[in-house]
Structure 1
């Protein structure tokens, strides 16, 4: 299943996504973690030092390889150059699976060893000096969206994406790629403002959204969040000595994380599992096509010089059983 962590800058979404990833690894679940934030901190939160984090390959730098691999033998896609971030898979396309080796993972994913297991970490790559003033960050995140469009997953597999801050993901259809979106909100007016944006934008697309209250200190903080987000509030997290030690680069073993925070992570997994069980694969594919056609008309056709609507395979539907077949 695919899970996103979102929230305003400084809300703690990277910290909470890293805790959730550690929790899944401790449960021996296969995990692909993706840092899709413009500020790349997920690697550090998972225990990488500065040099190791800096050495992570940037997905955006491997976009030609990603496109060529995913295109496969799809007759509707004339060349990798005509693929854009929203290009959907069709007959002949290569799909990504969580538990496999493929050229995309070989180029872009790196193993990260945690206390109780190992996860694969991918990163969009940070803004570089050459990008300033001439590049949009959505061009970086486009590699993530393309991979998510071509990734077929099962119920016991997890793809966890630490998203860019705020509501930037609504600039494309990537917000519909997730079975569950966890919005991390502090108990402040600014903290819940991104929640309101997400709730409004996602209303018409059936996006599963739950709020994780962070930095909740007392009953007043809890009541504030309940008043502001209602039944969308799933769990709350308060001060954590374990997290403070982790932020200093000296985390104890994960099993020593506070019991109430361990319980909160279990609740997140249960909510994500339940949401995946309700996934409508036909709607999931239909939404992918919807945003591809929108992007094709607004800018993609002009950029590529091709009619990108012709890339849509009307008979193709992503389905769970495709995760069991071997890639071509």
Structure 2
């Protein structure tokens, strides 16, 4: 299942997304974690040093490789150069799977061991560099994430967790429709819930499952404020955490020592994601992908590539869990002689 964390800058979305990733890994779930924020902090929140985080490969720098691999033998795509961030898969396209090894993961991902012996696969868009100033926008980098999500087939016990760029910038592309659930992290303040209102309005017509996660909650008054402002969209709240404070100092304790109330809140996030995935409409999921591709093609894609990108759409193709290769059965236990 695919999960996004969004919120106002400083709301704590990166911290909560890293806690959720640790929670999933501790439960032995396969996880691909993606840092798609312009401020690349997810690696550090998962325990990397600043130097190690800076050395992560950038998805945006490997876009030609990603396109060439995903294109596969799809006859509707004449070349990797004709692919844009919204190009949908079709017959012959190569699809990504959570647990496999492939050239995209080899070039763009790193297996990150966590403190408790668990590990996750981490990918990062890459930072906005000095060479980008005045000539590029960050969404050109995030486009690599969108292309991968469009070609990724996930199962019910597998997770992609994306730490999105802050605010409502997520709506600069169709990527906001790629998730089974979007967790919007909000502080109990007027500014904290302003992004929620904006996100709710933009996502209204696209069937986006939006759940508010209250953060930095100090007491009943904060919870009451969030309930008044966001209503039934409020899923759970997080309070003060000595464990998180230690993590932010670079000295986290064992994850199992995270406060019981916060562990229960993380389980509530997982339960919500699983429930949403169980109701995923694969046909609509694919149709939305095509919808945004056609919009981008008409707006700028056709002019940029010099081809009619509408011809890339395979009308008979539906992305579906059935396309996931079954996992090999475990080897039988040896029998006594």
| The two structures share one fold, judged by TM-score above 0.5 | yes
Residues 122-174 of structure 1: CA distance to partner in whole angstroms, max 9, x if unpaired?
00000011001111000000000000000000000000000000011111110
Residues 33-74 of structure 1: CA distance to partner in whole angstroms, max 9, x if unpaired?
000000000000000011110110000000000000000000
In the alignment, structure 1 residue 108 sits paired with structure 2 residue 82: no
In the alignment, structure 1 residue 236 sits paired with structure 2 residue 250: no
Where do residues 87-236 of structure 1 align in structure 2 (5 Å cutoff)?
87-114=87-114, 115-236=116-237
Question: In the alignment, is the contact (CA less than 8 A) between 1:4 and 1:182 conserved in 2?
Answer: yes
Deviation at 1:304, TM superposition (A): 0.6
Deviation at 1:116, TM superposition (A): 4.1
Q: Distance in 2 between matches of 1:319 and 1:133?
A: 40
Deviation at 1:325, TM superposition (A): 6.1
Q: Which runs of 5+ in 2 are unaligned?
A: 328-337
SS of the residue corresponding to residue 100 of structure 1 reads coil
Question: In the alignment, is the contact (CA less than 8 A) between 1:25 and 1:116 conserved in 2?
Answer: no
Name the structure 2 match of 1:66: 66
What is the CA RMSD across the aligned residues, in angstroms? 0.8
SS of the residue corresponding to residue 272 of structure 1 reads helix
In the alignment, structure 1 residue 31 sits paired with structure 2 residue 31: yes
Instruction: Flag the structure with larger Rg.
Output: 2
Q: Distance in 2 between matches of 1:200 and 1:177?
A: 17
SS of the residue corresponding to residue 176 of structure 2 reads helix
Name the structure 2 match of 1:283: 284
Quickly say closer, same or farther: Cα 1:196–1:70, change in 2 above 3 A.
same
SS of the residue corresponding to residue 34 of structure 1 reads strand
Q: Distance in 1 between matches of 2:261 and 2:255?
A: 13
Name the structure 2 match of 1:264: 265
Q: Distance in 2 between matches of 1:291 and 1:50?
A: 36
Name the structure 1 match of 2:80: 80
Name the structure 1 match of 2:308: 307
In the alignment, structure 1 residue 5 sits paired with structure 2 residue 8: no
Deviation at 1:305, TM superposition (A): 0.6
Deviation at 1:321, TM superposition (A): 1.0
Deviation at 1:98, TM superposition (A): 0.1
Stretches (4+) displaced over 2 A: none
Deviation at 1:324, TM superposition (A): 1.7
Number of equivalences: 326
Q: Distance in 1 between matches of 2:22 and 2:117?
A: 8
TM, length-normalised to structure 1: 0.99
Q: Distance in 2 between matches of 1:219 and 1:184?
A: 18
Deviation at 1:248, TM superposition (A): 0.2
TM, length-normalised to structure 2: 0.96
SS of the residue corresponding to residue 268 of structure 1 reads helix
Question: In the alignment, is the contact (CA less than 8 A) between 1:8 and 1:166 conserved in 2?
Answer: yes
